[in-house]
């Protein structure tokens, strides 16, 4: 099967990271001098045998002087308990704005690592071990970039499983004694698949027609997702219909909010309390008031948005399908909702009571009113 070449050097990064844990160890020799312990990547048996061959200490190479530390990676074992969905994506790995780069979910593997500490004096061995095992309780977590170039880091736990002591005492009296300890570790790492890319959507064209903005008062119902539902109850209102493009004479004061009266319907009711505009109102028996969205009856009686302010007892105009423009508005693209208790317009959906979409944003300064069915929490 043809596949693209990729190499992250993940296992190489784990070897280098593990070496930093053992690097820089020191011990105090019998003369009170602080010395650094050399570190090697090598199997235990190789350098133990090499040490025992050098009987004459005058001919011993400097690399074979004890104490010393070595380690090796022995095996990789698939770890199914740490795996998640293989189709999950790890993305945002590139700053390229033209395409989205990602890789499929990583695969969990446990790396078995053994470290060997050898010394001539048992006290030297104990000094070195104490500087290692005190950091494992019983695990140590390191953070590293295990995918060269992908731009994220990973936390890798390292568990210390066991410590075994060994003294090479068998053989002739000429054989050099070696006191050693073997530390068994499990490194919980990962392996990664090849990178993939997908083009990002940079442009969306939406064609809207007039019908997309229509919200007939007769068709509005309360859609129940809770324990109750009820249709909107018709009330006795005075309706003034306007031909498209005709001027609408508003009985209220002038305002910087300019309604577009094309195809609008204006309803009149008596204000139960002083009403501001544009505010969502409910009408019951010809009386308009601010609805409480936690009250089932109020949600049922919601009809539209006021077109001007009115004092208590005065007539107020209410629209069910109209466009408003205000130069001071700064709407974000999206939907406009009714506030929970005072009928104000907001782009934050209420967290209690009914959620009622009142309008859609056309531009930052223009909205189109068209009340949608309520969604009950």
Q: Are the beta carbons of 114 and 45 closer than 8 angstroms?
A: no
Please report the pLDDT score of residue 349 as a whole number.
87
Please report the pLDDT score of residue 175 as a whole number.
59
Flag whether pLDDT at 271 surpasses 70: yes
| Region of poorest pLDDT, from 7-21, 49-63, 296-310 | 49-63
Q: Is the pTM of this model over 0.85?
A: no
Flag whether pLDDT at 221 surpasses 50: no
**How does the average pLDDT of the chain come out, rounded?**
77
pLDDT digits (tens, 9 = 90+) for 170-202: 555 565 667 889 999 999 999 888 777 766 666
- Yes or no: domain 10-199 corresponds to CATH 3.30.2000.40: yes
Please state the domain extents for the chain. 10-199, 210-376
Q: Which two tokens stand for residue 199?
A: 């083009």
Say if residue 267 is exposed, middle or buried (CB neighbours under 10 Å; 0-12, 13-18, 19+): buried
Q: Are the beta carbons of 207 and 188 closer than 8 angstroms?
A: no
- For residues 97-122, average pLDDT: 82
| pLDDT bucket at 241, cuts 50 / 70 / 90 | very low
Residues 370, 337: Cα–Cα separation, whole Å: 11
Q: Which two tokens stand for residue 208?
A: 């809207």
Alpha carbon 74 to chain centroid, angstroms? 36
* Residue 358 phi, psi (nearest 5): -100, -40
Q: Are the beta carbons of 278 and 305 closer than 8 angstroms?
A: yes
Please report the pLDDT score of residue 240 as a whole number.
41
Closest to 278 in 3D by CA, of 227, 349, 214, 331: 331
| Burial letters 183-205, b for 16+ CB under 10 A, else e | bebbbbbbebeebeeeeeeeeee
- For residues 44-73, average pLDDT: 64
Alpha-carbon torsion (289, 295, 301, 306), positive or negative: positive
Flag whether pLDDT at 226 surpasses 60: no
Q: Which two tokens stand for residue 360?
A: 């859609």
Please report the pLDDT score of residue 281 as a whole number.
93
* Cis peptide, bond prior to residue 308, ω within 30 of zero: no
């Amino acid at each position: 099967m043809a596949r693209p070449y990729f190499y992250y050097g993940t296992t190489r990064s784990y070897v280098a990271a593990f070496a930093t844990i053992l690097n820089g160890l020191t011990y105090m020799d019998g003369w009170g001098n602080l010395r650094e312990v050399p570190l090697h990547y090598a199997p235990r048996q190789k350098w133990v045998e090499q040490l025992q061959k050098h009987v004459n200490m005058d001919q011993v190479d400097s690399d074979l002087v004890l104490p010393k530390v070595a380690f090796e990676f022995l095996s990789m074992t698939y770890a199914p308990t740490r795996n998640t969905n293989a189709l999950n994506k790890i993305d945002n790995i590139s700053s390229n704005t033209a395409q989205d780069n990602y890789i499929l979910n990583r695969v969990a593997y446990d790396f078995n690592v053994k470290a060997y500490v050898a010394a001539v004096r048992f006290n030297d061995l104990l000094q070195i071990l104490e500087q290692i095992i005190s950091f494992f309780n019983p695990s140590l977590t390191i953070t590293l970039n295990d995918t060269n170039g992908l731009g994220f880091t990973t936390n890798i736990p390292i568990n210390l499983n066991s410590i075994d002591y060994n003294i090479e005492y068998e053989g002739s009296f000429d054989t050099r004694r070696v006191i050693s300890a073997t530390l068994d570790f499990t490194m919980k790492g990962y392996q990664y698949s090849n990178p993939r890319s997908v083009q990002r959507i940079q442009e969306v064209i939406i064609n809207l027609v007039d019908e997309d903005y229509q919200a007939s008062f007769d068709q509005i119902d309360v859609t129940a997702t809770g324990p109750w539902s009820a249709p909107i109850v018709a009330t006795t209102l005075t309706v003034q219909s306007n031909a498209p493009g005709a001027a609408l004479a508003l009985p209220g004061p002038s305002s910087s909010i300019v309604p577009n009266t094309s195809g609008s319907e204006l309803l009149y009711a008596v204000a139960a309390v002083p009403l501001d505009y544009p505010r969502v109102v409910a009408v019951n028996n010809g009386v308009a008031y601010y609805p409480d969205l936690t009250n089932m009856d109020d949600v049922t009686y919601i009809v539209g948005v006021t077109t001007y302010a009115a004092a208590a007892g005065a007539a107020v105009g209410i629209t069910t399908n109209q466009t408003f423009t205000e130069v001071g508005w700064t709407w974000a693209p999206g939907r406009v909702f009714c506030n929970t208790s005072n009928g104000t317009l907001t782009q934050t959906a209420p967290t209690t009571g009914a959620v009622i979409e009142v309008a859609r944003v056309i531009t930052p300064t223009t909205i189109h009113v068209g009340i949608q069915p309520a969604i009950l929490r």
